[in-house]
Amino acid sequence: MTDDLTRLPASTLRDYIATRKVSPVELMKAVLARVEKLQPVLNCFITLVPEKAMQAAREAEDAVMQGRPLGLLHGIPYAAKDLVNTAGVRTTFGSRLYEQNVPKEDAVATARMKQAGAILFGKTTTPEFGHKALTDAPLFGRTRNAWSAERTCGGSSGGAAAAVAAGIGPIGIATDGGGSTRIPAAANGLVGLKQNLGTIPHSQAPDAFGNYTYVTPMTRTVMDTALMMQAMAGPHPSDPWSLGATPQDYLAAAGTSGDLRGKKILYSATFGNKAVAKDVRTAFERALGRLRELGAELIELTDAVPDMEAVWKVINHTTWRARFDDMIRRDGERMSPSLVRQVAMAMDWTGADYQRAMFQRAEIFRLVQRWFEHADFLVMPTLSRTALPIDQDLFEPINIDGVEVGELRRNWFPYTMAFNITGHPALTLCCGYDGDGLPIGLQFVGRFRDDASVLQAAALYEASESWLARWPDL
């Protein structure tokens, strides 16, 4: 029964808990047993809090037995990426410099999960301060992909993805600053949503007004993503982008009735990229065929796509320089060399360079807005190839179908960065597997402030396929 419980989605578990078919205590024991078994294999946690989790599970069970009102996620175990503040639970940001840091307050997202009845049992791995799409750091070592020990789990929310993919908790909190939820979700066969800017308040963003980073759900199913959205979304005084944003009915949107008739989908297999793996192209074309069967009209995107990575890099790296330069001057020898090197890249950029990148950010937003004047969704692959080798270096070129194509960021995930800087909702989910049995991701992008439509389209696609029946062989 233990393994059976760890394969159930949160949407099923919440119903089972409410109807007393499953005890929150029994569920938490199953999750903690699985983490004990698989943490040595995957290395996807920095901190575990089993005693606190079991106490919360006992309290959740008491509430059920006493017939008290239950929250949306009552008794559901979850883990949070170690960039997200959790009151009273160590939050290291993947850094030796914060190894003993214990926040006094929850981030808004974690506070709302707690209010909904979800139970935190651990903090998942992240590269130091979430600075790359590979999950390793001097603090904890390297995290492996749930589908292959020889592959990276992606990043920077790699621990969250590996844990959920392995059945160590049905849901997790992640973050996304350039693809950091969608990259590991695609590499591990999960649903990863970077919601619209402001939908889920980001109370830790240093620059609230120029923000391009997001606190996000990480799940196996679209409905579980909708549950987390329903719990975490809504205005909060800490985030100006959230003010005036009205939450949608995400649960209704993630239902599977209806079709895509009348919907227009712009699609691109490359989105300005030069190389795409054959297996990714094949899976993408198959997914397009499925969307056509669901009733959608497909239109290829033929417009030239700007160099998103160049704009994102100036905005991102200058932000990192402002945040970490003093830290590096004091303690750089204790920090990740790849973070130190990227901050150094920003040394020659001026305030005017940053502002010009922000001007380009606005231009890209307006370009995407024009695309949505004639379409309901953009659809593209999430990654140009499946999970990279476990020892891949951030600055070394990647290989696609036996050909060296260039450095990692520009060539592996050019599809994701654009929507961090425009703010549009973007969701990845599994659309097949390559010849080695590794998951392939499909990305849906929707209109500004319309997360619900993205969930709806993704849920219809998910229901039309059988990819959820596959689990990694651990």
Q: Catalytic amino acids?
A: 81, 156, 180
For residue 332, count CB atoms less than 10 angstroms from its CB and return exposed for 0-12, middle for 13-18, buried for 19 or more.
Answer: middle
- The region that residue 82 occupies, defined by phi over 0 for left and psi between -120 and 50 for alpha, beta otherwise, is alpha
Strand extents, DSSP E, 270-317:
297-300
Q: Which stretches does DSSP call E strand in 88-162?
A: 119-124, 136-137, 141-142
Residue partners of 381: CB distance under 8 A and separation at least 6: 269, 276, 280, 283, 284, 415, 440, 441, 442, 443
Catalogue the E-assigned strands of 91-232.
Answer: 119-124, 136-137, 141-142, 171-176, 191-194, 214-219
Cβ contacts of 468 within 8 Å, gap of 6 or more: 220, 221, 430, 462
- What are the backbone angles phi and psi of residue 140, rounded to the nearest 5°? -130, -10
The residues, any chain, with a CB within 8 Å of residue 110's CB and separated by 6 or more, are: 80, 84, 85, 86, 87, 120, 173
Give the dihedral of Cα atoms 299, 366, 425, 269; nearest 10 deg: 40
Percent of the chain that is helix, strand, coil (3-state, to 5): 40, 15, 40
Separation of CA 412 from chain center: 16
- Please check whether residue 130 is in contact with residue 158, taking contact to mean a CB–CB distance below 8 angstroms: no
